[in-house]
Structure 1
Amino acid sequence: SRYPGAMVRTDSLIVQDDGVTTTAAFTAALDLATALVREHLGDNIARTTARITLAPENRTSQSPYIVDSMLPVNHTQFADDVGSWLVERMAEPYDLDLLSDAFHLSTRTMLRKFKDETGESPRSYLQRARIRKAKRLLESTDWSLGKILGHIGYQDPGTFRRLFTDRVGISPADYRKRFRNGGTG
């Protein structure tokens, strides 16, 4: 709010703008150092430096580290109620007609009102909730991906893997390896 002209890019580890380079969290300073070495000295030196410092040389996104529940939310009661309804029925197939009927709205009104209040569609909200739940299950259980998919309402592992990788920045298997029971990745 102090800098209304600033645009935050939550998915980027390093942002360069008009000669200013910034980074995200504490450990992202390693990514910043690697990026600066790459920019000024080239890929080979950056790769060697990363190996010497034991820093990951190829991290390009902070998406796997984002904790959705810590992000600010400015929803109305309506949006919160719709979100809760969707999460409670997460394992069931998404059905816009059923959702709209539950809130006594037309599908068009449901889509418009929910998007106006949240900036996304109910389907997109549900996908984020499913991915958030899958992340928790990958971290805390030994369940197979198939069992997790059944629990969160996905049928096709390929579709889910693509969606998860697009949203999180790494595959479900890589996510589990990195974050399982506090893994250090």
Structure 2
Amino acid sequence: MLKSVAVILVPNFSVFEFATACEVFGIDRSGRGSNVPAFDFRVCTPEPGNVRMKSGLSLNVSLGLEATADADLVIMTPFGRDDDVPESVLEALRAAHARGAWVMSICSGAFALARAGLLNGRRCTTHWHYSHELANRYPEVQVDENVLYVQDGNLITSAGTAAGIDACLHLVRVELGANVAAAIARDMVVPPHRDGGQAQFIDRPVPACGSAPMEELLRWMVQNLEQEHTVVELASRVHMSARTFARRFRSETGATPAAWLNSQRVLRAQELLESTDLNIDEVARESGFGHPVLLRHHFAKVLDTSPQSYRRAFRGQLVTAG
């Protein structure tokens, strides 16, 4: 049962994501008429003392990494560069995982789990802003940028900011039940459950790649979403063999050509649903899916919702109904 929680801080940590763990596990709610236990909540760091925040302020932390030795859950908070994480932190994460404790990362904290080797061959997530870097630096890790959080065994990784709350509440629900998770969520005034498969609902430009030819190809693909694109045809445009191209494409984008293309088509469909009066058939054609059934399939797969539901939720006042 989940009783003790240790949160690891390293210099340049993000205070908001740290605070999400504090809100869920660090407040004693046991006397408020619910079944919520009082967690043994610990904040630790490799070198006890003042730990600098990303904002420039600092927090005095009195506990060292020995606080993780018997914790039921060890949380890695976001920080600066992954090569700034001391080996002692990586060892603490490995030890916690080896003895069967839960290990969680919030936002870019996933880089520490990846560097420790815990995510090798596993599916994980992080904030979409860092997803391609994580995939490029650790190609043996299966990065999914289109979800809020991922549980793989006793490892949980989450996307940015509020997704950390979702991941924490998910673990509470798994370990202590839906009623306890709902009581904590009610006290925090947040939704008691957002499924991890729900998308981060991101909208971003074509990512910069390691090579100009590949980046130019990506831009051409986005401009020609309505076309069918085979690996052989795409490889020929950048003068590579199909095998080399497929390897390079995944290395630079974190996805296969087909998956990347479908994600761009979904993004285009999102834009059309938000900003136009086009019906679903027209959105399917304009976004490159061709048929509504394919649009609905990929929308459900990537965003875990339907095009109609997405339009109702995100269209707002962008379009005046006709």
TM-score by length of structure 2 reads: 0.45
CA contact (8 A) 1:12 1:62 kept: yes
Q: Which has the higher strand share?
A: 2
Q: 2:60 aligns to what?
A: none
Which runs of at least 4 in structure 1 moved beyond 4 Å after TM superposition? 14-18, 20-23, 47-54, 70-73
Q: 1:78 aligns to what?
A: 213
Q: Displacement of 1:43 after TM fit?
A: 2.3
Q: Displacement of 1:87 after TM fit?
A: 1.7
Paired amino acid for 1:76: S
Q: Displacement of 1:130 after TM fit?
A: 0.8
Paired amino acid for 1:158: V
Q: Where does 1:6-85 land on structure 2 (aligned, <5 Å)?
A: 7=119, 8-10=124-126, 11-13=147-149, 15=151, 23-47=158-182, 50=185, 55-61=190-196, 63-67=198-202, 69=204, 73-85=208-220
Structure 1 window deviating more from structure 2 (73-82 vs 47-56): it is 47-56
Higher RCO (C-alpha under 8 Å, 6+ residues apart): 1
1:106-159 CA-partner distances (Å, limit 9, x unpaired): 8xx2x3233222204433332121111111222222321211111112222122
CA contact (8 A) 1:34 1:57 kept: yes
1:130 aligned counterpart, secondary structure: helix
TM-score by length of structure 1 reads: 0.71
Structure 1: gaps spanning 5 or more residues: none
Give the one of 116, 120, 123 matched to 1:5: 116
CA contact (8 A) 1:114 1:122 kept: no
CA contact (8 A) 1:164 1:170 kept: yes
1:3-24 CA-partner distances (Å, limit 9, x unpaired): 3236452334265876x86643
- Check 1:178–1:56 CA distance in 2 against 1; reply closer, same or farther (3 A cut): farther
Q: Where does 1:166-185 land on structure 2 (aligned, <5 Å)?
A: 166-181=301-316
Instruction: Give the aligned CA root-mean-square deviation in angstroms.
Output: 3.7
Counterpart CA distance in 2 for 1:101 and 1:73 is: 18
Structure possessing the higher radius of gyration over alpha carbons: 2
Counterpart CA distance in 2 for 1:140 and 1:131 is: 14
**Percent identity (aligned):** 24
Counterpart CA distance in 1 for 2:235 and 2:200 is: 36
Q: 1:134 aligns to what?
A: 269
Counterpart CA distance in 2 for 1:64 and 1:37 is: 21
CA contact (8 A) 1:14 1:24 kept: no
Structure 2: gaps spanning 5 or more residues: 1-81, 84-111, 127-146
